[in-house]
Every structure is written in C-alpha cells, then in structure tokens.
Structure 1
Amino acid sequence: MKFPSLIRTSKFSQFHYEPRYYDPIKEEIEGKLKAARANKDTENPSTQYASSISAAFRKRERKSSQASVVQMLIAAAMLVTFVGWVFYGNDVFYIYLLLSPLYFYFRLKGRNKSKN
C-alpha cells in the first residue's frame, strides 16, 4: 500500500533496444538495382564506369608519386645526418636544433597565408 506524498520520486528509466537484422548482400543488391534503374536512360553506361576507373588510377598514381618523393627526402635527410655525425660528431644535432625554429616559422607562416 502506497501512502500519498507531496514529494514525487523519479521512476527508473529503462533502455529499450530493438535489434535490427542487417544483410549486407541484400543492401548491395538493392543499391545496384537502384543504380541500374537510374542509368537505364543513358545509352552507354560503360563509358561512365571506364572514366571513373581511369580517374581513380590517375589519383592513385599522383598520391604514390608524392609519397615516393617524401620518402626520398626523408632518406636523404637521414643520410646527410649520418654522414655529418660521422665527420663532425654531435655538432650536427646542434645545427638541427638551431634550424628547427626557422623551419617551424616558415611552416606556420605558410599556413597563415593559406587561411587568409
């Protein structure tokens, strides 16, 4: 038996979760059917696919060439550091410490120009 009260207590909140079934194969089939219905009006859809594939390869080549240049620069910097360390000792690392603020200054300066 519950006594009447002026103070109301909060009821417990319950989490209600209703699981849904996900079928990736069915979703892929539906997506392909929608794309086929949308491309039904075009006469030659294979040219569209060919152009997108060639564009993807061009983009991939550009990224890989940029990565190879960066890798070569890193390898050259490591080689120069090692050779400098062999000939001049730890003074090479002090030169890097002196040049690093200059590098960060120009890097931040370039970012500020691109934002404006």
Structure 2
Amino acid sequence: MKFPSIFRTAAPMRFDIKPRYYDPVREEIEQRTSQIKKDLEAQGLLENTDGNSRDIGAYGAGIRGSFAQHKGIKERDGVNMFASTAMIRTFIFLFLFGTIFGYVYLGTMIFEFLAYAGVLLAAIYFFFRIIKPKKKYE
C-alpha cells in the first residue's frame, strides 16, 4: 500500500530500442545522386535547387548595416532611479553591512541608532510624499 505524497518518486528507466531500417543500395544511390548534383552545380550546368545557397554573399546582406543601426541602450523615461532592482539591492547590502559593522564596534547600541535613523527617514519620506503638495502643471 502506497501513502499519498506531494513528492514524485523516480520510476525505474525502461530499456526501449527502436531498430532502424538500413538499405545499403538506397544509401549508395543517394550518395551517387548527391555527388553528381554537386559536380553539375560546380560546372554550372545545374542550378542549386535545394534552397540553401552556399554563397557567402547571400549571408552578408542581412548582417550588413545591422550594427550601425543600433542606437544603444534606451534610457527609461519617468522611472525613478531608486525603484531599480540594483539600487534596492545596494541599499539592502549597505544596511546589512552597516548593521554588522556597528554591532561589532558599538554593540547593541547600534540598534537604537538604526531606530532613530529609520524614524528620521520615514519622516522625510512622508514629508515629501504626503504633506508637501504636488504641483499639477509641471
């Protein structure tokens, strides 16, 4: 009896081989035909009909000018610099580094300083976001 579980258990792998059919006569005919086609194309008596052109110039048309048209990385319009993920990650790293450094040199008193700094930053944030009126026509 098996108990229900949220984890999937691995089932044993089964060996399943599918034999391929090999016809040496057909293989030889295909090789001869492809060789004759290559010879005729090299002599110019037959056009390349398989669709893939081996001409290097055919690839150059799509690439030529592609790098010259590149305009560079686009600047983000109207996005706050402090909203980017890299900036938030940097602030978190500096906060953790400062906390560890302060704890080593100041002890538990660093948590009081961080609390005062947090209250000060929250007051500045609320002053600029809520209390200070926004201009409608900037």
TM-score by length of 2: 0.36
Higher RCO, 1 or 2 (CA under 8 Å, sep at least 6)?
A: 1
TM-score by length of 1: 0.42
